[in-house]
Amino acid sequence: MIEVKRPKEAFLSVFAYRMAPKEELFTRGHRACQGCGAALGLRHVMKAAGRNTIVVNATGCMEIVSSPYPYTSWAVPWIHVAFENAAAVASGIDAAIKVLKRKGKLDPNKKINIVVFAGDGGTADIGLQALSGMMARGHNVLYVCYDNEAYMNTGVQGSSATPYGAHTTTTPAGKVKFGQGYWKKNLPEIAVAHGIPYVATVCPSFPLDLIRKVKRALELPGAAYIHLFAVCPTGWGIPPAYAVKAGRLAVETGIFPLYEVEYGRYRLTFDKKLKPVEEYLKFQRRFRHLTPDLIKTIQERVDAEFARLRVMEEATNRPDYRSVSGI
Ligand SMILES: Cc1ncc(C[n+]2csc(CCOP(=O)(O)OP(=O)(O)O)c2C)c(N)n1
Ligand code: SF4
Ligand SMILES: [Mg+2]
């Protein structure tokens, strides 16, 4: 049995939050709904990234709420790009910075972070090709997918990241169907398959874990991918006051496992006895039609995925395991 050292951040009490950086770069005044997990997540990513950051924002809720002309919530350079090409634009910025440094127009030692924010629709569906190219070429970009599990900005249409059984306006639950009929696309694993240095999952209900992972992603050279679980009270049908709790329950039930993969080595960053998935599903309007049989199917899938992650962690931390970087 391999002993894996767990980082402490995901287990710290909420009072430890005073340790988080104070500077706000995704600032107040934006128009996100009350309890928006995506807005909370972006705020924390920016605390970790710091001022020397260029943000590339695909169309979606976070772009809409943060930039109603003539206002902005961004205290860093920010570019809004089309729904489908955020990773391509970020790749271009990376190439431009390299050229400017080579030509002596920019201090070659200056560290400039490039961070993409795109939703699950803009990542799992329409932006996947651009993201794959960015990762394959190894651009120095951190791509953050904030996953609210549907196309929220345009009215809660299902995406390929919508969870099994969820009601959306394009996967309606009724007499004929029970909501989304296939399993959520596993984006972190698609990123891992590209062999990039760093992939992680984060949830704003665990802010210190999130901040540590963003810092790690930015300090490693090359492309990094972070999948951010973004509770959406409006689209999911939960009271805004429950948003942080819903995020915690997603992690504690194993619906959304917290882990990181550094140079191919897996590490679960939150690994405790899991609560039943029903505790997470039962207070959300989008799941209220689920029958005990469907809940059982979801439970089996969650158990299997968590077990698979434990196996990956065990296998990739053996002393004889050779990671993708050869270290
Ligand atoms: C090519 C193209 N197709 C459709 C749209 C309309 N559109 C804008 S935002 C959006 C939904 C984005 O969903 P997601 O990426 O999940 O972000 P969210 O709104 O959930 O934050 C859609 C369909 C568009 N802007 N461009
Ligand atoms: S619809 Fe959801 S993701 Fe969009 S701003 Fe509101 S809570 Fe946030
Ligand atoms: Mg979305």
Per-residue pLDDT tens digits of the chain, which is 327 residues long = 778 889 999 988 777 888 899 999 999 999 999 999 999 999 999 999 999 999 999 999 999 999 999 999 999 999 999 999 999 999 999 999 999 999 999 999 999 999 999 999 999 999 999 999 999 999 999 999 999 999 999 999 999 999 999 999 999 999 999 999 999 999 999 999 999 999 999 999 999 999 999 999 999 999 999 999 999 999 999 999 999 999 999 999 999 999 999 999 999 999 999 999 999 999 999 999 999 999 999 999 999 999 999 999 999 999 888 776 655
- State the burial class of residue 301 (Cβ atoms within 10 Å of its Cβ: 0-12, 13-18, 19+): middle
Q: Which amino acid is at 5?
A: K
pLDDT digits (tens, 9 = 90+) for 219-240: 999 999 999 999 999 999 999 9
Are 259 and 191 spatial neighbours (Cβ–Cβ below 8 Å)? no
pLDDT for 13 equals: 76
Whose CA is closest to atom 13 on ligand 1?
151
d(CA 65, CA 179): 28
DSSP strand pairing (78-81 vs 113-119): unpaired
- Per DSSP, helices labelled H in 139-291 are 187-193, 207-219, 233-236, 243-252, 278-281
Q: Is the CB of 152 under 6 A from ligand 1?
A: yes
Shortest-distance atom of ligand 2 to CA 34 = 7
Supply the CATH classification number for the domain 9-316. Answer: 3.40.50.970
Q: Is the CB of 147 under 6 A from ligand 1?
A: no
For a mutational test of ligand 2's pocket, the pick from 42, 63, 67, 152, i.e. the residue with the most ligand atoms closer than 8 A to its C-beta, is 152
pLDDT for 327 equals: 54
Q: What angle do CA 32, 190, 206 make, to 5 degrees?
A: 45
Q: Measured in angstroms, how far is the CA atom of residue 310 from the centroid of ligand 2? A: 32
Q: Measured in angstroms, how far is the CA atom of residue 58 from the centroid of ligand 1? A: 8
Domain residue ranges in the chain: 9-316
- Residues in the 5 Å CB sphere of ion ligand 3: 119-121, 148, 152
Are 194 and 135 spatial neighbours (Cβ–Cβ below 8 Å)? yes
For a mutational test of ligand 1's pocket, the pick from 33, 85, 153, i.e. the residue with the most ligand atoms closer than 8 A to its C-beta, is 153
pLDDT digits (tens, 9 = 90+) for 38-79: 999 999 999 999 999 999 999 999 999 999 999 999 999 999
Q: Within 10 A of 274 (CB to CB), how many other CB atoms are there?
A: 17
Whole-model pTM? Answer: 0.97
pLDDT for 325 equals: 64
pLDDT for 18 equals: 85
- Which residues, at least 6 apart from 317, have a Cβ–Cβ distance to it below 8 Å? 2, 4, 265, 266, 267
